[in-house]
Amino acid sequence: MTLHLKMDDRDDRYRLDDMVQGLVGTPTDRPEGKLKVSGKASYAMDVLPDDVCHGVLVRATITHGKLRDLDTEAVRALPGIRTVITGKRMLRNPAQGMAGKAPVQGSDDIAYFGQPVALVVADTLEQARHGALALRLTLEAKGDAVVNPHDPDASVEMPKKEQVLIGDLDEAMKKAAFSVDQHYTTPGHSSAAMEPHASVAHWHGDSVTLRGSYQMLAYNKAELADALGISEKNVRILAPYVGGGFGAKLGISPEAVAAALASKELGVPVAVSMTRQQVFETTMRRSETNQRIRLAADENGLLTGIGHEALVSNLPGEDFSEPVTQATPFLYRGENREIVHKIARIHRTCAGSVRAPGEAVGLTVLEIAMDELAEKAGIDPVELRKKNIPDQDPTDQIPFSSHALAEALDEGARRFGWDKRNPKPRSTRDGEWFVGMGMASAVRVNMLIESKARVTLSADGRAMIETDMTDIGTGTYAILGQIAGEMLGLPMEDVETRLGDTEFPPASGSGGSFGAASNGTAVLLGCEEIRRQLCKKLNCEDADMTLKGGYAIVGNKRIALRDVLDGDTLVGEGHVQPGKAEKKVRQATYGSYFAEVGVNSVTGETRLRRMLGVFAAGRILNAKTARSQCLGGMTFGIGMALTEELIHDRRDGHMVNHDFAEYHLPVNADVPQIEVVLLEERDEWANPLQAKGIGELGICGAAGSIVNAIYNACGVRVRQLPATLDKVI
Ligand code: MOS
């Protein structure tokens, strides 16, 4: 039996707080943790069939134009080469995951430098690589490729639904007692997942199985079927372990379709793993952004107007554009509002979702501008934010579901020792270092995505969860087990969680911070259905039944679950869908960041000294994995503030720093002790778990606190991220 739930209203059907098992929320270890640290968890390329062939992608060396010909004859004559795949079904850039389709793109039209145009397949990886290097392409370049978003020849689109115009911002700016009007830029970012994109394809008759590294299997199945021109019924995808995604694996990437095409032709399994450079250049990038922020405030520091204009870029025809202004309509008060979103069509690697698309870069910039306003108005930055928290969504005029920004700001300030900050820049020295403190708000929209899961309670009293959900390092295995354990009164070791197989009920997948809450709700509903069946057997109401430690307790009777089941196996499916709730209330997660930096007075080098994040995201499902997500987000915030920057060649748009030697992620030496505080909260509008997404919250705005700390330290306001020493000195 399936229990369906459409979130049309608030829902507190299960008072998880009253449950006695006490599993949900605890810092439970990952059940698969030992497998991972001992190298036994098998990632995409870890289990290859004996007869596997290897494919290596060959890529275009022009920016825009046509593939006229490839000299496959010469390559086929090389040792070990089995085939060369090219043609209209090859993907040139990744699908977008949520769309459910990967439009057939073809290898003939070149849209960016480094686009894959062919796959060379051989008995060994070395032979395939040799063949790929030897393949001669005849390419015809169009001379007019626009590769820079500011090129006057770039066509610029303004999607109507992204623009907001309320009141008269120009007038508000004129009348303002204090105002800020500044331009900021953030560079492109790479998702930088540790495991490269990889797929191993294998056909059995008309059906293909792909084992690989993907975030959203139900969508990826639809994308693959669409790209191959076959029915979804004939596609199975397996991804039991995924070595990080960060957005770049929301959709399938070129290697998946190429591997499937090659395997079909050869009748043997084909494995294709991207090199690090290929991951950079042929999966996706976060768009660079150019942003203008206008803030108007009255003499008390109350915002009367907010302007947020953003220019981002993507390939011609792509749906996605970095949603920079996503949180600007509802974060702060202000009756005059102008939000402008523009997309420049340019020929660079496809832009897509990277680590909290939108707020990660948009809020960071807004929070730098807020710091500028605080200084102009002579108001403490924490106070300025608190003053401007609206009572309801000021744009859509709907209430907030739950909202803990004020608490997060207070708690952070208290714990960090914010009262010791000298508001005057350049006033604290430690040897040759200027020392300063900065802060920023955190906000991330909350989403619910349709999700299903099946729970089986077998006659021996053990439970099994099955869903095509992924665990991309986020802790899915742990939290789903905790939810089922709580609901069915079982210890963690009596719950088995099976993920990453499209034969299981389709889940939300992992992305957009929606995975745990969406799929966790499906598991909750599946367990609720099993509880109904148990109540029937026990002839009692759910409210009168306590499940604990493998026993059912009804009144003064305590019966082992095995005896209640009496040889039966119970199955419950849960199915949750978004409904009207998301229109009735504004749902988001909130938090705050506090950072202390040292800026070297000789070199201009910035060293983060300590950092604190306080986050409220509804019920915390697992205190350990939630904290880890926030630590990761803040670490990427350090990268965004200080080191990360994709550089594109001005002439042909190619990505210059396409590896971890040249694209600088923060390493251990860049990351001091980071403290994460989770504020407990309940959000009944989000889902019956009352949990909101936390995965991406920890990066949204994080870089702003560091850039603001740099200003407090040395008096230099950096508006072009990252704040490398050349910009600070
Ligand atoms: Mo995410 S950047 O939606 O995986």
> What is the number of the ligand 1 atom nearest to the C-alpha of 357?
2
- Give me the chain's average pLDDT, please: 96
Q: Given pLDDT bands bounded at 50, 70 and 90, which one contains residue 445? A: very high
pLDDT at 427: 97
**Any residues with CB less than 8 A from the CB of 403 and at least 6 apart, and which?**
389, 588, 590
| Residue 37 CB-density burial (10 A; 0-12 exposed, 13-18 middle, 19+ buried) | exposed
| Residue 581 CB-density burial (10 A; 0-12 exposed, 13-18 middle, 19+ buried) | buried
Q: Given pLDDT bands bounded at 50, 70 and 90, which one contains residue 454? A: very high
Domain chopping of the chain, boundaries: 2-41+449-578, 356-447+585-728
pLDDT at 404: 98
Question: Please, what's the b/e burial string for 117-146 (b: 16 or more CB within 10 A of its CB; e: otherwise)?
Answer: bbbbbbbebebbebbbeebebeeeeeeebb
pLDDT at 125: 98
**Rounded distance between C-alpha atoms, residue 361 and residue 637, angstroms:** 10
**Catalytic residue IDs:** 696
Q: How far is the centre of ligand 1, averaged over its atoms, from the C-alpha of 248 (Å)?
A: 7
The CB of 357 under 6 Å from ligand 1? The reply is yes
Q: How far is the centre of ligand 1, averaged over its atoms, from the C-alpha of 249 (Å)?
A: 8
pLDDT at 705: 99
Q: Give per-residue pLDDT as tens, 110-168.
A: 999 999 999 999 999 999 999 999 999 999 999 889 999 999 999 999 999 999 999 99
- Segment 377-398 shows an average pLDDT of 97
> What is the number of the ligand 1 atom nearest to the C-alpha of 354?
2
pLDDT at 104: 78
Among 189, 195, 250, which residue has the most ligand 1 atoms within 8 Å of its CB, making it the best to mutate?
250
The CB of 499 under 6 Å from ligand 1? The reply is no
> What is the number of the ligand 1 atom nearest to the C-alpha of 191?
2
| Residue 550 CB-density burial (10 A; 0-12 exposed, 13-18 middle, 19+ buried) | middle
- 2-41+449-578: what CATH class? alpha beta
Q: How far is the centre of ligand 1, averaged over its atoms, from the C-alpha of 73 (Å)?
A: 41
Among 195, 252, 326, 353, which residue has the most ligand 1 atoms within 8 Å of its CB, making it the best to mutate?
353
pLDDT at 144: 83
Q: In this structure, which topology does domain 356-447+585-728 adopt according to CATH?
A: Aldehyde Oxidoreductase; domain 4 (3.30.365)
Say what percent of the chain tops pLDDT 90.
Answer: 95
Given a contact cutoff of 8 angstroms between Cβ atoms, the answer to whether 534 and 548 are in contact is no
Given a contact cutoff of 8 angstroms between Cβ atoms, the answer to whether 87 and 106 are in contact is yes
> What is the number of the ligand 1 atom nearest to the C-alpha of 355?
2
For the CA atoms of 714, 720, 722, 726, what is the dihedral angle to 10 degrees?
-60
pLDDT at 14: 67
In this structure, what token pair is assigned to residue 637? 């915030």
Q: Give per-residue pLDDT as tens, 37-81.
A: 999 999 999 999 999 999 999 999 999 999 999 999 999 999 999
pLDDT at 306: 98
Residue 595 CA, distance from chain mean position: 23
The CB of 245 under 6 Å from ligand 1? The reply is yes
> What is the number of the ligand 1 atom nearest to the C-alpha of 248?
4
The CB of 470 under 6 Å from ligand 1? The reply is no
Residue, of 13 and 428, whose pLDDT is higher: 428
> What is the number of the ligand 1 atom nearest to the C-alpha of 472?
4
- Collapsed DSSP state (helix, strand, coil) of residue 333: coil
In this structure, what token pair is assigned to residue 213? 């590294």
Q: Give per-residue pLDDT as tens, 332-382.
A: 999 999 999 999 999 999 999 999 999 999 999 999 999 999 999 999 999
The CB of 511 under 6 Å from ligand 1? The reply is yes
The CB of 512 under 6 Å from ligand 1? The reply is yes
**Rounded distance between C-alpha atoms, residue 570 and residue 489, angstroms:** 15
Handedness of CA 517, 523, 529, 534 (dihedral sign): negative
Question: Please, what's the b/e burial string for 635-664 (b: 16 or more CB within 10 A of its CB; e: otherwise)?
Answer: bbbbbbbbbbbbebeeebbbbebbeeeebb
- State yes or no: pLDDT of 99 exceeds 80: no
Q: How far is the centre of ligand 1, averaged over its atoms, from the C-alpha of 174 (Å)?
A: 39
Q: How far is the centre of ligand 1, averaged over its atoms, from the C-alpha of 513 (Å)?
A: 7
ipTM of the complex: 0.98
Q: How far is the centre of ligand 1, averaged over its atoms, from the C-alpha of 215 (Å)?
A: 9
- Segment 103-113 shows an average pLDDT of 89
Supply the pTM of this predicted model: 0.97
The CB of 353 under 6 Å from ligand 1? The reply is yes
pLDDT at 143: 84
Q: Given pLDDT bands bounded at 50, 70 and 90, which one contains residue 11? A: confident
Residue identifier of the C-alpha nearest atom 4 of ligand 1 = 247
- State yes or no: pLDDT of 388 exceeds 90: yes
The CB of 355 under 6 Å from ligand 1? The reply is yes
Q: How far is the centre of ligand 1, averaged over its atoms, from the C-alpha of 473 (Å)?
A: 13
pLDDT at 100: 59
Q: Given pLDDT bands bounded at 50, 70 and 90, which one contains residue 102? A: low
Q: Give per-residue pLDDT as tens, 688-725.
A: 999 999 999 999 999 999 999 999 999 999 999 999 99
The CB of 246 under 6 Å from ligand 1? The reply is yes
The CB of 354 under 6 Å from ligand 1? The reply is yes
Q: Give per-residue pLDDT as tens, 176-216.
A: 999 999 999 999 999 999 999 999 999 999 999 999 999 99
Given a contact cutoff of 8 angstroms between Cβ atoms, the answer to whether 375 and 269 are in contact is no
Q: How far is the centre of ligand 1, averaged over its atoms, from the C-alpha of 269 (Å)?
A: 30
Q: How far is the centre of ligand 1, averaged over its atoms, from the C-alpha of 510 (Å)?
A: 8
- Closest among 428, 298, 288 to 373, alpha carbons compared: 298
pLDDT at 21: 86
> What is the number of the ligand 1 atom nearest to the C-alpha of 356?
2
Fold agreement between 2-41+449-578 and 356-447+585-728: yes
